Structure 1
Amino acid sequence: MPLEIIHDEEDLRFYVPLGDEEAEMTYSYTEDNVLDLDYTFVPETYRNQGIADQLVQAGLEFVKAKGFRFIPSCPVVEAYAQRHPEYQSLMD
C-alpha cells in the first residue's frame, strides 16, 4: 500500500507517521549536490511491509529530480539501489 511520505528538508529526513510511531530515512549533505542517505528505521511492528523501500524510493526520487548524486551509507539504501538499476547511475 503506497504511503504518504513526508520530506522534512529542515530536519533532513523522509518520514511517515505510523500511529504513535514513525518510520524514517535520514540524510546529510556531504557536498553541494551529494546526499549521504545514512539511516533508515522502521518500527518492529511495521517491518516487512515495504515501508523502508518506499522511504528509500522517495529519497532517490528527490535525488534524481534535483540532479544530485547519493552515497548509500545505510545498508537498506544500498540493497535497494542494487535491486533497482535505474538509480545506480546516481550513486557517488
Structure 2
Amino acid sequence: MEIQHEGDETQGRYFTGVEGAEREAELTWRKNGNVRHATHTFVPAEARGKGVAAKLVKAMIADAREDGFKIAPDCSYVESYFRRNPDLSGLRA
C-alpha cells in the first residue's frame, strides 16, 4: 500500500486507494502557521481494521519530522493515535 500526499501551502491530504472501494482512504489537514491541523480521517469499510488509518498518520508524522512542522490532532483518530504513542508528544501542537 502506497500512501500519497497532495496539497498546497494551506491544506492537503494523505491518501491511498482501497481495492473494491469507490472512495480512497484519506487524512485531511489544513495549515495554520507551523502547525498542520489533522482535520479528518476516513477509511472505507472494505479496509477498516487493517491499519490503513495508522499508515496515513505515520506518513504525516514522517513529514512533520522531515519538514519541521507540528501536528494538531483535531480529528478523533489522530488524537487517539497520539494518546497511544506518548513518545510523539514533541510533534504535537
Q: Same fold judged by TM-score > 0.5?
A: yes
> How many angstroms apart in 1 are the aligned matches of 2:24 and 2:54?
15
Length-normalised TM-score, structure 2: 0.87
Tell me which residue corresponds to 2:63: 62
Length-normalised TM-score, structure 1: 0.88
- How far does the alpha carbon of each residue in 1:55-77 deviate from its partner, in whole angstroms, 9 at most, with x for none? 01111111121111110000100
Amino acid at match of 2:24: E
Aligned length in residues = 89
Offset at residue 86 of structure 1 (A): 2.6
- Structure 1, unmatched stretches of 5+, are none
Tell me which residue corresponds to 2:75: 74
> How many angstroms apart in 2 are the aligned matches of 1:15 and 1:86?
24
After the TM superposition, list the runs of 4 or more consecutive aligned residues in structure 1 that deviate by more than 6 angstroms: none
Identity of aligned residues (%): 34
Q: 8 Å contact 2:38–2:74 — kept in the other structure?
A: yes
> How many angstroms apart in 2 are the aligned matches of 1:60 and 1:78?
13
Q: 8 Å contact 2:18–2:46 — kept in the other structure?
A: no
